[in-house]
Amino acid sequence: MTAPTSLVQERRLVTPIPGPKSVEALKRRAAATSAGLGIAIPVVIERAHDAILQDIDGNCIIDLGSGIGVTNVGNTNSRVVARVIEQVQALTHTCFTVAPYMGYIEVCEALNEITPGDHPKKSLLVNSGAEAVENAIKIARHYTKRPAVVVFEHAYHGRTNLTMALTAKNLPYKEGFGPFANEVYRMPLPYSYRWSGSLDTITQDSLDEITSKIEKEIGAHNVAAILIEPILGEGGFIVPPKGFMPGLADYAKENGIVFIADEVQSGFARTGDLFAVNEEGVVPDLMTLAKGIAGGLPLAAVTGRAEIMDSVHAGGLGGTYGGNPVACAAALGAIESIEQDRLVERAAHIGQILNESLNALAATYPVIGEVRGRGAMQAVELVYPGTKEPNVEAVNAVVKYCQSQGVLILTAGTYNNVIRFLPPLVITDALLLDALGVLELAFASLDS
Ligand SMILES: *Cc1c(COP(=O)(O)O)cnc(C)c1O
């Protein structure tokens, strides 16, 4: 067995960001890779461990993004690495629908066990979050024999053709990529910070509006699925008001509609619960899972009610690589780490530190319009002080400042004015506080 990967958990800059080697490598990136690929931080990463990313110039950068909520168990988590090494030497591929192997079965057993609800459950493994969402919709349509899918404002569900249609935001996700799939209906989302009605009745008012629109514009009996992120990810970490998710789930149940929770970003301990729906005891019919599932290896899943998952004929689901043995080994390591390293509690602890620090910043810097999130999924929405006008300029300045000091943060939001924090759940308090100190300096450096 090789020595476990490690890297001192300290921010350390040895060159400006980007350093000379990254500058050269990024020229090759520009020459060799499609211009359609964005970039959040202009450095090239060589190795990583826990919450530190080391670039090719030797700079050690604090990771507050986890590769977009993927390395929840930490970069190169030792349980994941050990299982991957063992697996890659034993078996890398048969295609599960050609000849099965245990890893796929074990991951499905684990998902059926840890997801909410004690009814019989079954799972399907695929390669990406978008593929999980596509499959959940296929399964819901097949089960209900209905065509329509209900989605929400500010939603993000992926970049494939069907999932582009399900995603709300035009630029950059949809612009010029149509025509899109049909039978997709978008409903208002109770985004409390920007809600025009009364906040006292936001839950009931939004549910009334949505159910009325479904009945008038689609007909509930035509709806196969209601698809929602329990906390919206790319949309800007919008947390729907209390009672909204249970109300929506009840409406789906009363009308024979499959209720699908897209927990691709909010799942796997991120929010201080194993899954975000657990907060209000909501039990989805189907869940789409990816990102945090396998500690950085590509894997995704649909997990849900056995009678729904089993309604599809053999051969109707699948794919060449779905549930690859190495990715499955990584998932078993990640799930083990979440349990053994008590990462649910750790996420709640990180969330408390983040939330307190961000609220303290908001008290000093009126550019912060709102602090929101749950657990280690926190965000700030930046506005021009005294208004709710999105302040993209300030977001860009804060991000740039943090990057220059070796702190990687990500943005989000329909209006591009949200900074989101998704640290690996193994980040030390000291490292997190160091990063938050840099963030404070970034706000102090704004001239407004
Ligand atoms: C990232 C994301 C997806 C898409 O996942 P990919 O693996 O990038 O295809 C779908 N839903 C949500 C909520 C996401 O955050």
pLDDT in tens, the chain (448 residues): 445 578 999 999 999 999 999 999 999 999 999 999 999 999 999 999 999 999 999 999 999 999 999 999 999 999 999 999 999 999 999 999 999 999 999 999 999 999 999 999 999 999 999 999 999 999 999 999 999 999 999 999 999 999 999 999 999 999 999 999 999 999 999 999 999 999 999 999 999 999 999 999 999 999 999 999 999 999 999 999 999 999 999 999 999 999 999 999 999 999 999 999 999 999 999 999 999 999 999 999 999 999 999 999 999 999 999 999 999 999 999 999 999 999 999 999 999 999 999 999 999 999 999 999 999 999 999 999 999 999 999 999 999 999 999 999 999 999 999 999 999 999 999 999 999 999 999 999 997 5
Distance CA 385, CA 369 (A): 8
| Distance of CA 107 from the midpoint of ligand 1 (Å) | 19
| Domain of residue 142, CATH code | 3.40.640.10
Q: Decide which of 320, 340, 360 is a domain's last residue.
A: 340
φ, ψ for residue 182, nearest 5 deg: -100, -175
Q: Residues near 271 by Cβ (< 8 Å), separated by ≥ 6? A: 231, 279, 347, 351, 374, 375, 376, 377
In sign, the C-alpha dihedral spanning 139, 144, 148, 153 is negative
364 CA from centroid of ligand 1 (Å): 34
Residues whose CB is less than 8 angstroms from the CB of residue 89 and which lie 6 or more positions away in sequence, other chains included: none
Residues 250 and 267 in one domain: yes
Kindly state if the Cβ of 72 falls inside 6 Å of ligand 1: no
Check whether residue 347 and residue 229 sit in a common domain. no
Domain boundary among 310, 340, 370: 340
Range of the domain at 126: 80-340
Peptide bond into 179 cis (omega under 30): yes
Residues 346 and 398 occupy one common structural domain: yes
Q: Is 130 helix (H, G, I), strand (E, B) or coil?
A: helix
Instruction: Report the chain's C-alpha Rg in angstroms.
Output: 22
Determine the distance separating the centroid of ligand 1 and the alpha carbon of 69, expressed in angstroms. 10
Structure tokens at 147: 């065509």
87-92 long-range contacts, Cβ below 8 Å, gap at least 24? 87/325, 87/326, 87/328, 87/329, 88/326, 90/325, 91/325, 92/324, 92/325, 92/326
**Beta-carbon count within 10 A of 188 CB:** 14
User: Is the beta carbon of 156 within 6 A of some atom in ligand 1?
Assistant: yes
What CATH number has the domain bearing residue 404?
3.90.1150.10
124 shares its domain with 157: yes
- Helices assigned H by DSSP within 380-425: 392-404
264 pocket-lining for ligand 1 (C-beta < 6 Å): yes
Contact 431, 11 (CB under 8 A): yes
